[in-house]
């Protein structure tokens, strides 16, 4: 029996912080309900529109309804040209972990595992960061990622964990992700994608191998990733805990997904709005 | 200068880093029979002639210039330092040697040609405690903790002094801290000095300790049982302080007396869950890895001076099949996190 949740039983405080990390400065909005429950805090990662402010507005009512602390980082364009994946040019993963560590001093709830949500480019960063630091995260919510780092060797890094002799720089990332793969595959993971997220728009990465293995659209790729995740988990002797939810009538638009398909409520409260 | 004769430790005496755990008021008297000093006993001495060491290290973490006539409180101990001295824990009342700036007094038996003779000291007295016995560092050690539980341990070994072990230990601790682990940076063997200790502390490691915290000014020429107990005591301390993982440096090269005993000890093989090997070049990497293999050990990573050169790193990787990590790799939280999980570290605040 599900507990009854009032629509809103409290208020929240929203604060903005800018945290210096070893990977660079990262700002964030912190939504702290007046009464914080024992539920894990949630980190919300924006996509290439960098709409952190809007996401904070959209997730704030859910923080108040659930009593969950929510942090919405903002990878601003000036400092974070690259933020979708850790690479030589930028280490958003390190900044994200540094942000959580820094905020934990003021918000002890962040000292434990946190849940992680990302949309589009944010979903790319979310699953790649969780692959590197799986123990730091509880449940992953990956919405409409353009492409993935598959947890198998069918594609060379960064599309998967396969090797490519011509890319020695990938060796370090492969070493790290292979070492943490089993822990990653044990995470509870929810994948979301709009039923209409099928456009091959300019922001979608398109290469022949990527199209062939992961699919031609975000919708196809979400399905491919779920299948790959399940197969890799089973191969590792882990019972996969991965779901895929298609958001009816939604294209590649997080605001639409929240407004019409209750995405924020699904993520924060684990239920339909 | 003729040293002052005294019945008490002069108020202006410079207590050295090796004596940092000893409260000043623990001293109740002095005994002039300095020749009776044993390893770890506290000794009051006066500076006679400045040699290799022009400074001593203070418990505050800063060096202090020393001048003839200065009173110093040190610990009697041996020294293993191929680039400086070999010394024994013996004190000749007529004159002794400052074997290490961290506060080790003893008798030098050999020195590297490239360094000056040891700074000479005139020993004045052994320090006595309330029971009339000699004050010894072991009396002020961390409580013995024979069982550190399942605390994962990443050991750092190397080919020799100055092969990069301390840097590797510190940078690994830094990477682990950045990944969010509560980490202990420990030095299991060696001779007491604040350089390594400070380098560890600067990383923000949650616990920093060395063999002096386990009651030894040096582990050189100490019985293996005692060195092992000291390491277990440090690991137990780290676990008791809530650390998730420990990085421990084992000093000097693989052929050094105590290090060779440790790596040959099945207890060590069973106790560590990760291993980093520091060396200077590809040949040293191959040799070190082969020597470790003889004892059933295989490093997870090679580092040290060899890692500064991409060419040398490639040669070492080809020769050993083991990745060569630069200091920036060790300090990388993603790399360190992978090491931690490989070592069996468990996130205590897990989902």
Q: Tell me whether B341 touches chain A (CB under 8 Å).
A: yes
- Top residue of B337, B345, B348, B350 to mutate, by most chain A CBs within 10 Å, is B337
- Residue from B333, B348, B349 whose CB has the most chain A CBs within 10 Å, to mutate: B333
Is the CB of A94 less than 8 angstroms away from the CB of B178?
yes
Q: What is the pLDDT of residues A70-106, one digit of tens each?
A: 999 999 999 999 999 999 899 999 999 999 999 999 9
Q: Do A179 and B349 touch (CB under 8 A)?
A: no
- Both tokens assigned to A135: 């123990």
The DSSP annotation for A8-54 comes to: ----EEEEEEEEEETTEEEEEEEEEESS--SSPPEEEE--TT--HHH
Q: What angle do CA B92, B98, B102 make, to 5 degrees?
A: 135
- CA B260 to mean position of chain CA atoms: 16
Task: Give dist(CA A268, CA B289) in Å, integer.
Answer: 50
Residue A74, φ and ψ in degrees, nearest 5: -130, 105
Residue of A nearest to B334 (CA): A132
DSSP-assigned states of every residue in A209-258 = HHHHHH-SSHHHHHHHHHHHHHHHHHHTT----EEEEEETT--S-HHHHH
Q: Flag whether pLDDT at A4 surpasses 90.
A: no
DSSP β-ladder status, B42-49 and B119-128: antiparallel
Q: At what angle do helices A121-132 and A92-103 cross, to 10 degrees?
A: 80
Q: Are B126 and B72 in contact (CB under 8 A)?
A: no
Containing H/E element for B250? strand B245-253
* Average pLDDT score over chain B: 95
pLDDT at B185: 98
Region for residue B149 given its phi and psi (left: phi exceeds 0; alpha: psi -120 to 50; beta: otherwise): left
SS3 B33: coil
Contact B101, B217 (CB under 8 A): no
Would you state the pLDDT for residue A137? 97
User: For residue A119, what pLDDT is reported?
Assistant: 98
Write out residues 179-198 of B within 8 Å (CB-CB) of A. 179-180
Task: Find out whether A115 and A141 touch, Cβ atoms under 8 Å.
Answer: yes
B4 pLDDT above the threshold of 50:
no
Alpha-carbon distance of A272 to A251, in angstroms, equals: 18
Cβ A93–B334 below 8 Å, yes or no? yes
Q: How many domains does chain A have?
A: 1
Contacting residues of B for A102, CB less than 8 Å apart:
none
Q: List Cβ neighbours of A28 (8 Å cut-off, separation of 6 or more).
A: A16, A17, A18, A19, A52, A71, A72, A73, A74, A99, A103
CA distance B282 to chain A (A): 19
In a domain, A119, yes or no: yes
Which residue in A136, A137, A176 is closest to B335 by CB distance?
A: A176
The CATH number linked to A265 is 3.40.50.1820
Exposure pattern of B142-151 as b/e (b: 16+ CB <10 Å)? beebeebeeb
Candidate from A7-11, A14-18, A233-237, B62-66 with smallest mean pLDDT: A7-11
B125-155 per-position pLDDT tens digit: 999 999 999 999 999 999 887 666 789 999 9
> What's the pLDDT tens digit per position in A138-179?
999 999 999 999 999 999 999 999 987 667 678 999 999 999
Q: How far is A14 from chain B (nearest CA, A)?
A: 25
Q: Which strand (E) or helix (H) includes residue A203?
A: none
In this prediction, residue A2 carries a pLDDT of 44
Chain A to chain B Cβ contacts (< 8 Å): 66
C-alpha–C-alpha distance, residues B66 and B20, integer Å:
18
The alpha carbon dihedral of A196, A200, A205, A208 has a sign of positive
Q: Is residue A5 part of a domain?
A: no
Domain of A94?
12-269
Closest residue on chain B to A87 (Cα):
B334
B119 - beta bridge partners? B98
CB contact under 8 A, B350 and A135: yes
Task: Label residue A214 by pLDDT band (50, 70, 90).
Answer: very high
Residue B227: other Cβ atoms inside 10 A: 23
What pLDDT score does B250 carry? 97
CA distance A3 to chain B (A): 21
Query: Is B337 close to A94, i.e. CB distance below 8 A?
Result: no
Distance CA(B216)–CA(B19), nearest Å, equals: 10
Output A3 or B21, whichever has higher pLDDT: B21
| Domain assignment present for A105 | yes
- Give a yes or no: residue A1 inside a domain: no
Q: Is the pLDDT of residue B34 over 80?
A: yes
All structural domains of chain B: 14-140 (no CATH), 153-342 (3.40.50.300)
Residues of chain B with Cβ-Cβ distance to A135 below 8 Å are 337, 341, 346-347, 350
Residues B268-294: pLDDT tens digits? 999 999 999 999 999 999 999 999 999
- Enumerate the residues of chain B whose CB falls inside 8 A of the CB of residue A179: 338-339, 341-342
Q: Is residue A61 part of a domain?
A: yes
* Residues of chain A with C-beta less than 8 angstroms from the C-beta of B350: 112-113, 135
Nearest-by-CA chain B residue for A183: B341
Res A211 pLDDT > 90: yes
Please list every residue in chain A whose beta carbon sits closer than 8 Å to the beta carbon of residue B202. Answer: none
Chain B residues within 8 A of A100 when measuring between CB atoms:
180
Mean of pLDDT values over B32-55 = 97
The pLDDT, as a whole number, for residue B2 is 44
For residues A99 and A105, is the Cβ–Cβ distance under 8 A? no
Interface check for B130 against chain A (CB to CB < 8 A): the answer is no
A199 is a domain residue: yes
Give the pLDDT confidence of B246-274 residue by residue, as tens digits.
999 999 999 999 999 999 999 999 999 99
DSSP state of B196: H
- The answer to whether B201 touches B189, Cβ cutoff 8 Å, is no
Nearest to A136 among B180, B335, B338 (CB): B180
Phi-psi region of B262 (alpha: psi -120 to 50; beta: other; left: phi over 0): alpha
| pLDDT at res. A10 | 77
The pLDDT value recorded for residue A114 is 97
The interface pTM score, or ipTM, of the predicted complex is: 0.93
Radius of gyration for the alpha carbons in chain B, expressed in angstroms and rounded = 21
Average pLDDT score over residue span A115-132 = 98
Q: What's residue A5's pLDDT?
A: 47
Q: Which residue from B178, B180, B347 is facing A22, i.e. has the nearest CB?
A: B178
| Cβ count within 10 A of residue B329 | 21
- pLDDT, residue A206, reads 96
Distance CA A147, CA A135 (A): 23
Residues A96/A89, Cβ–Cβ less than 8 Å: no
B40 pLDDT more than 60: yes
Phi/psi of residue B104, nearest 5 degrees = -120, 120
Q: Is residue A128 part of a domain?
A: yes
Q: Which residue of B has its CA nearest to A171?
A: B323
Contacts of B116 (CB under 8 A, 6+ apart): B51, B52
Please report which confidence band the pLDDT of residue B3 belongs to, taking 50, 70 and 90 as the band edges.
Answer: very low
* pLDDT tens-digit series, residues A189-206: 999 999 999 999 999 999
Q: What is the DSSP letter of B35?
A: G
**From B329, which residue of chain A is nearest by alpha-carbon distance?**
A172
- Mean pLDDT of the A124-137 span: 98
Q: Is the pLDDT of residue A8 over 60?
A: no
Taking any CB pair shorter than 8 Å as contact, residues of chain A touching chain B are 22, 40, 86, 93-94, 97-98, 100-101, 111-113, 132-139, 171-173, 175-177, 179-180, 183, 187
Please name which of B127, B132, B137, B129 lies closest in space to residue B6, comparing C-alpha atoms: B127
B80 backbone dihedrals φ, ψ, rounded to 5°? -120, 110
In chain B, what percentage of residues exceed pLDDT 70? Answer: 97
Phi-psi region of B204 (alpha: psi -120 to 50; beta: other; left: phi over 0): left
B324 has a pLDDT exceeding 90: yes
Mutate to test the interface with B, among A111, A175, A236, A270 (most CBs of B within 10 A): A175
Q: How confident is the model at residue B1 (pLDDT cuts 50, 70, 90)?
A: very low
Give the residue carrying structure tokens 């590792």: A236
How far apart (Å, rounded) are the C-alpha atoms in residues B299 and B157?
Answer: 9
Answer whether B334 sits within 8 Å of A138, measured CB to CB. Answer: no
Does residue A273 carry a pLDDT above 50?
no
Give domain status of residue A179, yes or no.
Answer: yes
- Residue A3: the pLDDT is 44
Query: Tokens 């801290």 appear where?
Result: B177
Mean pLDDT of B48-56: 98
**CB-CB neighbors (< 8 A) of B339 in chain A:** 179
Q: Residue B76, CB half-sphere, CA atoms under 13 Å: how many?
A: 28
CA distance B340 to chain A (A): 9
pLDDT surpasses 50 at A123 = yes
pLDDT at A109 over 90: yes
């Amino acid at each position: 029996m599900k507990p009854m949740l009032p629509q809103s039983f409290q208020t929240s405080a929203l604060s903005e912080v800018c945290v210096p990390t070893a990977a660079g400065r990262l700002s964030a909005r912190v939504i702290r309900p007046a009464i914080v429950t024992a539920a894990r805090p949630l980190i919300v990662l924006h996509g290439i529109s960098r709409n952190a402010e809007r996401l904070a507005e959209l997730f704030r009512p859910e923080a108040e309804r659930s009593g969950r602390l929510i942090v919405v980082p903002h990878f601003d364009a000036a400092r974070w040209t690259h933020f979708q994946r850790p690479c030589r040019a930028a280490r958003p993963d390190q900044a994200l972990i540094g942000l959580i560590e820094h905020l934990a001093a003021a918000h002890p709830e962040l000292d434990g595992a946190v849940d992680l949500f990302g949309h589009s480019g944010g979903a790319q960063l979310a699953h790649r960061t969780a692959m590197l630091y799986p123990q730091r995260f509880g449940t992953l919510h990956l919405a409409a990622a353009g492409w993935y780092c598959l947890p198998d060797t069918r594609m060379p890094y960064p599309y998967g964990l396969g090797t490519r002799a011509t890319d020695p720089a990938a060796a370090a990332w492969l070493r790290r992700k292979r070492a943490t793969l089993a822990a990653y595959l044990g995470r509870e993971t929810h994948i979301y994608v709009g039923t209409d997220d099928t456009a091959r728009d300019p922001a979608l990465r398109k290469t022949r191998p990527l199209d062939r293995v992961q699919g031609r659209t975000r919708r196809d790729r979400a399905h491919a990733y779920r299948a790959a995740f399940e197969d890799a988990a089973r191969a590792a002797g882990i019972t996969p805990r991965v779901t895929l939810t298609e958001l009816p009538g939604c294209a590649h638009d997080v605001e639409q997904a929240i407004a019409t398909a209750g995405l924020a409520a699904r993520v924060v409260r684990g239920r339909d709005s | 200068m003729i040293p002052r004769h005294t019945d008490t430790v002069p108020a202006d005496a410079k207590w050295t880093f090796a004596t940092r755990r000893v409260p000043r008021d623990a001293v109740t008297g002095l005994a002039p029979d300095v020749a009776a000093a044993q390893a770890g006993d506290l000794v009051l001495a006066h500076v006679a002639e400045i040699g290799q060491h022009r400074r001593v290290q203070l418990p505050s973490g800063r060096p202090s210039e020393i001048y003839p006539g200065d009173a110093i409180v040190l610990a009697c101990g041996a020294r293993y330092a191929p680039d400086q001295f070999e010394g024994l824990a013996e004190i000749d009342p007529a004159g002794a040697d400052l074997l290490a700036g961290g506060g080790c007094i003893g008798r030098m038996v050999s020195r590297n040609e490239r360094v000056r003779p040891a700074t000479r000291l005139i020993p004045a007295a052994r320090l006595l405690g309330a029971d009339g016995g000699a004050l010894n560092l072991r009396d002020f050690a961390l409580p013995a903790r024979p069982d550190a539980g399942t605390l994962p341990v990443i050991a750092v070994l190397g080919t020799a002094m100055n092969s990069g072990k301390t840097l590797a230990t510190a940078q690994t601790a830094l990477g682990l801290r950045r990944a969010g682990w509560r980490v202990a940076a420990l030095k299991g063997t060696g001779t007491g000095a604040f350089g390594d200790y400070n380098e560890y502390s600067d990383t923000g490691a949650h616990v920093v300790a060395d063999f002096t915290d386990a009651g030894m000014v040096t582990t050189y020429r100490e019985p293996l049982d005692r060195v092992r107990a000291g390491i277990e005591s440090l690991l137990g301390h780290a676990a008791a302080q809530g650390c998730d993982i420990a990085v421990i440096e084992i000093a000097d090269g693989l052929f050094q007396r105590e290090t060779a005993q440790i790596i040959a000890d099945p207890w060590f093989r069973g106790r560590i869950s990760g291993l980093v090997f520091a060396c200077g070049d590809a040949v040293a990497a191959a040799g070190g890895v082969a020597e470790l293999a003889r004892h059933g050990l295989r490093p997870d990573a090679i580092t040290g001076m060899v890692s500064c050169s991409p060419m040398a790193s490639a040669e070492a990787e080809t020769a050993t099949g083991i990745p060569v990590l630069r200091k920036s790799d060790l300090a990388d939280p993603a790399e360190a996190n992978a090491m931690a999980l490989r070592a069996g570290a468990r996130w205590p605040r897990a989902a």
